[in-house]
């Protein structure tokens, strides 16, 4: 079994990386393989709402000039997902949101139903709002959200400082154990007997 961890910080070795490394270390102890992917610090497109990924059933974004498709291609290869982000103005990193929105929309079939978790890393405030924002797509895609002993929040400013947040690091380890437990219960597959989805009914509120 394998979990994909996405480092949504423009700083490759910052505190988001520290938090994700603690999760990966504990997952390894639980016998779960991990891969950490960094979104980088090059420009990333936002969704252009062109609809080409859906119209042509591509399973990938029509634009292939950034990290989005390299991340979404991993969805079919993993059994769980953990997304980490620094907090900017009470929100996740905008580049990360652009990646996730495009990857989830263009390749939802490969990640839907798999357990997921979000991690927010901040200097002081805004983490709970960013944490909730990161969780929103999981609920939309039938992805069981993995919790911990506290909200998945780690504090730190300068690179590596998050390792001094003893409660935050413990929260990361508990998150990892809970993710491993979920995967072992289902052996890396959606739980047998999950109710079949109804035919999707959409409704707009403007007539």
Residue 193 banded pLDDT, cuts 50, 70, 90:
low
Tokens of 91: 């929100």
Q: How high is the pLDDT of residue 191? A: 64
57: phi > 0 → left, psi -120 to 50 → alpha, else beta; which? left
For range 46-73, the mean pLDDT: 94
CB 146 within 8 A of CB 140: no
Residue 123 banded pLDDT, cuts 50, 70, 90:
very high
What CATH code is assigned to 2-186? 3.40.50.360
Q: How high is the pLDDT of residue 202? A: 75
Residue 134 banded pLDDT, cuts 50, 70, 90:
very high
Q: How high is the pLDDT of residue 207? A: 62
Cα distances from 66 to residues 54, 87, 103, 152, in angstroms, run: 19, 22, 11, 28
Closest-CA residue to 17 (of 36, 30, 44) = 36
Q: How high is the pLDDT of residue 196? A: 76
Q: How high is the pLDDT of residue 190? A: 67
For range 197-203, the mean pLDDT: 77
Q: Give 90-118 pLDDT, tens digit per residue.
A: 999 999 999 999 999 999 999 999 999 99
Residue 117 phi, psi dihedral angles, 5° rounding = -150, 155
Across the chain, mean pLDDT equals: 94
Q: How high is the pLDDT of residue 201? A: 80
Cα distances from 154 to residues 25, 32, 40, 49, 171, in angstroms, run: 16, 22, 21, 34, 8
Q: Give 145-184 pLDDT, tens digit per residue.
A: 999 999 999 999 999 999 999 999 999 999 999 999 999 9
């Amino acid at each position: 079994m394998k979990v994909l961890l996405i480092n949504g910080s423009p700083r490759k070795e910052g505190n988001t990386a520290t938090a994700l490394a603690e999760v990966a270390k504990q997952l390894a102890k639980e016998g779960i393989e991990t891969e950490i992917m960094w979104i980088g610090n090059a420009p990333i497109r936002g969704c252009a709402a062109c609809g080409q990924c859906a119209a042509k059933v591509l399973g990938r974004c029509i634009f292939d000039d950034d990290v989005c498709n390299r991340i979404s291609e991993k969805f079919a290869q993993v059994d769980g997902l953990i997304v980490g982000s620094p907090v900017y103005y009470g929100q996740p990193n905008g580049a990360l949101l652009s990646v996730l929105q495009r990857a989830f929309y263009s390749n939802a079939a490969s990640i839907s139903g798999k357990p997921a978790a979000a991690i927010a890393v901040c200097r002081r405030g805004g983490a709970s709002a960013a944490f909730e924002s990161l969780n929103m797509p999981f609920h939309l895609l039938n992805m069981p959200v993995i919790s911990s002993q506290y909200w998945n929040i780690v504090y730190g400013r300068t690179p590596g400082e998050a390792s001094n947040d003893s409660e935050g690091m413990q929260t990361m380890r508990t998150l990892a154990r809970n993710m491993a437990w979920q995967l072992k219960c289902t052996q890396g597959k959606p739980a047998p007997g999950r109710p079949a989805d109804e035919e999707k009914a959409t409704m707009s509120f403007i007539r």
